[in-house]
Amino acid sequence: MKTYFDIAGDGGSQIVDQVVDIQEKIRHKLSRVKHRLAIASGKGGVGKSTLAMQLAAALRQRGKTVTLLDADLNGPSLAHMAGLQESLFIPGPAGLHVPKTKDGIGVLSLGSMVSEDQAIDFESVAPSESFTWRATREFTTFRDLLAGTDWGTLDYLVIDLPPGAHKCYEFAQFLGSETAFVLVTLPSDVSQGVVRRSVSALKKLKNPLLGYVENMSGYYCADCGKVKPLFPQNTRMNFDIPLLASLPFDPRLATLCDQGQPLAYLFDSPAAQAIHALAENIEKRMEAQP
């Protein structure tokens, strides 16, 4: 039996050439994408996907071409939020066509491919189904999606990241330093604690960290038109990065996400206003990037 020590060079696999080849393919496929923006947090359930979807809709309304890439391969939710659960990924000469909402927002999400009653599994060749191996398979799948899709000419590719503080760092490295980041947190100490870790991880890299969004900053009561406190008053929020927007919890927004209606931002409410402010703020900051 051979051991690693017996393998000379790459053992004939030409692995380095393969990696260089696929990286070049990704670079070429994304060459007509003006801005890459990752929506991240570290924490789960804080509204990353909701904000990614609504931000894309607001940017679209501002005349931008936008595609959403659902990088949460194990728990994809953008297909549902965009009403594109049954869309087909049709291959074309330059790669997979990205399904679009009726408003023209591209959405590439594994949720369009795998129905919600099926688990998404990354088959392992390792006997013990090791976690590390699965993570590797996950990244390989993500890399293949990037390299195999026809992204076309875009103003924004908005990438919705999975939870996990380490994911911010891993994806930032993988996507390259030109991908900007926006972090999402709830006002709770628990959420802020996780997001603070993500901030410190991202600060080790060169990726622009545009700022953070405070989601569920209060509860919007449609009957009385007032925003009520949702968490006890909290003043810490000192992430040392700009606050881009504060968005209250709005039950109508949750319902519209469930119904797959991406234009939830159209209704007049503090949440809608916050999303528009966020889009405007992000556009300004992205345009200011070198």
Q: Can residue 257 be called a binding residue for ligand ADP (CB under 6 A)?
A: yes
In terms of DSSP H, where are the helices of the chain?
Answer: 15-29, 48-61, 78-81, 131-148, 165-175, 189-202, 251-258, 270-287
Q: Can residue 247 be called a binding residue for ligand ADP (CB under 6 A)?
A: yes
Q: Can residue 253 be called a binding residue for ligand ADP (CB under 6 A)?
A: yes
254 binds, among Mg ion, ligand ADP, none (CB under 5 to 8 A by kind): ligand ADP
Q: Which helix (H) or strand (E) holds 159?
A: strand 154-160
Q: Can residue 281 be called a binding residue for Mg ion (CB under 5 A)?
A: no
244 binds, among Mg ion, ligand ADP, none (CB under 5 to 8 A by kind): none
Query: What is the contact mask toward ligand ADP in residues 28 to 67, using x (rule: CB under 6 A)?
Result: -------------x--xxxxxxx-----------------
Which contacts qualify for 170-177: CB closer than 8 Å, 24 or more apart?
170/139, 171/38, 171/40, 171/71, 172/38, 172/201, 172/202, 172/205, 172/207, 173/205, 174/139, 174/142, 174/143, 175/36, 175/38, 175/207, 177/205, 177/206, 177/207
247 binds, among ligand ADP, Mg ion, none (CB under 5 to 8 A by kind): ligand ADP
List binders of ligand ADP among 162-221 (CB under 6 A): 215-216
- Give the three-state DSSP class for 271: helix
List binders of ligand ADP among 69-128 (CB under 6 A): 77
**Which residue of the chain is nearest Mg ion when measured via CB?**
49
Q: Can residue 229 be called a binding residue for ligand ADP (CB under 6 A)?
A: no
In terms of DSSP H, where are the helices of 183-269?
Answer: 189-202, 251-258
Residues near 105 by beta carbon (within 8 Å), at least 6 away in sequence: 56, 57, 60, 66, 67, 68, 82, 262
110 binds, among ligand ADP, Mg ion, none (CB under 5 to 8 A by kind): none
List binders of Mg ion among 66-125 (CB under 5 A): 72, 77
Cβ-contact 258, 83 below 8 angstroms:
no
Taking CB under 5 A as the criterion, the residue among 26, 36, 46, 49 binding Mg ion is 49
70 binds, among Mg ion, ligand ADP, none (CB under 5 to 8 A by kind): none
Q: Can residue 254 be called a binding residue for ligand ADP (CB under 6 A)?
A: yes
DSSP assigned state of 196: H
Return residues touching ligand ADP (CB under 6 A).
Answer: 41, 44-50, 77, 215-216, 247, 249-250, 253-254, 257, 271
